[in-house]
Amino acid sequence: MRLDDELESRNVEDRISSSGGFAGGFGGGMSLGRVMMLWPIIRMLLRTKFGWAILAVGAFFYFGNPLGMLSSGAVGGGSKADEKDAIFIKKVLKTTEDVWSQLLPKYSYKYSKPVMVLYRGHTTSGCGFASAQMGPFYCPADKKIYVDLSFFDELKNVHKAGGDFAQAYVLAHEVGHHIQDILGTLDKINAMQHRAKRAGDKTKANHLQIPVELQADCYAGIWAHYVQSKLDRGDIEEALNAATRIGDDTLQKESQGYVVPDSFTHGTSKQRSKWFYRGFRSGDMRECNTFR
């Protein structure tokens, strides 16, 4: 994907390169001035074991788990690879902002730009704790997209879905969920899922998520349709390969050797690649009705 001349989005929280912090910290650490202001209280608490416990809990919630700081590898800034990936994905986000800011009003909706949070290891979100195991996700509670850059390593090395446009597709998919949030789709499906769970029907709740994910794939395809001038030969194939490699059936076969359709939440490999390509081919949101 050719983005050398593209600007980076400003709607980014970089929790990797924050000085003095860690991936997922609350603002990069406590200043010396604040420590001095609180020193009389700290000194008093240090006199008792109970006080030490209070300080430990306070440090955990302010700075995060110190063990997590060590494992995140993000103290004092990210690696060269992280910096390269961060620059690229910020530029991709800018292209999604440009596309949807122009396209969504044609369907009588105003586009509000989401914030992308970059991290490695773990962080906090409006939807709770986030870790690398979760993969990229959109949180409707705070309107932010959370991207652990280590997922791109996993995408390439574990799922055999390398390439810069595979990374771009992943972000465009999460932006698709933001579009669904704007349109009210997520609220409707969440309500239906809650009713299914209360009724004890976990399979139905899972299956209700599938058209949500496939529609996000279709919206990602629409974005790709409008950035074709920036694509290299083979980019669409990279996205289709990524969609195939992270289908529920493929992931289950790789991890456990067999498939359990009742547990599907994102759709099969064939479905995911089909809906991405449908959006790419049409460039029309009306072609993304996965709920029929």
- Domain membership flag for residue 4: no
Residues 59 and 101 in one domain: no
- Domain membership flag for residue 177: yes
Q: Which of 271, 188, 231, 197 is nearest to 95 (CA)?
A: 231
- Domain membership flag for residue 10: no
Residues 103 and 217 in one domain: yes
DSSP class of residue 163?
S
Residues 227 and 271 in one domain: yes
Nearest-angstrom CA–CA distance, 112 and 106: 14
Residues 40 and 120 in one domain: no
Residues 54 and 114 in one domain: no
Which two structure tokens, joined as six digits, stand for 27? 């603002």
- Domain membership flag for residue 40: yes
For residues 138 and 96, is the Cβ–Cβ distance under 8 A? no
Cβ count near 112 (within 10 Å): 12
Residue with tokens 């440009």: 98
Q: Residue 196 belongs to what domain range?
A: 80-288
Nearest-angstrom CA–CA distance, 74 and 22: 5
> In the chain, which residue ranges form alpha helices assigned H by DSSP?
32-45, 49-63, 66-72, 80-103, 150-157, 164-183, 185-198, 202-226, 235-245, 248-256, 269-282
- Domain membership flag for residue 185: yes
Predicted pLDDT of residue 32: 38
Residues 129 and 239 in one domain: yes
| Identity of the residue numbered 144 | K
Q: Of the candidates 63, 91, 118, which is a domain's last residue?
A: 63
Predicted pLDDT of residue 115: 97
Predicted pLDDT of residue 47: 65
Instruction: Domain count for the chain, please give it.
Output: 2
- Domain membership flag for residue 244: yes
- Domain membership flag for residue 183: yes
**Alpha-carbon torsion 150, 155, 169, 289, what sign?**
negative
Residues 149 and 43 in one domain: no
Residues 56 and 128 in one domain: no
Residues 188 and 249 in one domain: yes
For residues 193 and 269, is the Cβ–Cβ distance under 8 A? no
Predicted pLDDT of residue 68: 36
Q: Which of 229, 228, 232 is nearest to 279 (CA)?
A: 228
For residues 167 and 152, is the Cβ–Cβ distance under 8 A? yes
Residues 57 and 198 in one domain: no
Is beta strand 115-119 parallel, antiparallel or unpaired with respect to 144-148?
A: parallel
Q: What is the pTM of this model?
A: 0.79
Residues 46 and 96 in one domain: no
| Chunked mean pLDDT (size 10), the chain, 292 residues | 94 72 32 43 62 57 40 48 91 98 97 96 90 87 94 86 91 97 96 94 92 97 97 94 90 88 90 97 97 90
Find the largest Cα–Cα distance for the chain: 69
Residues 42 and 88 in one domain: no
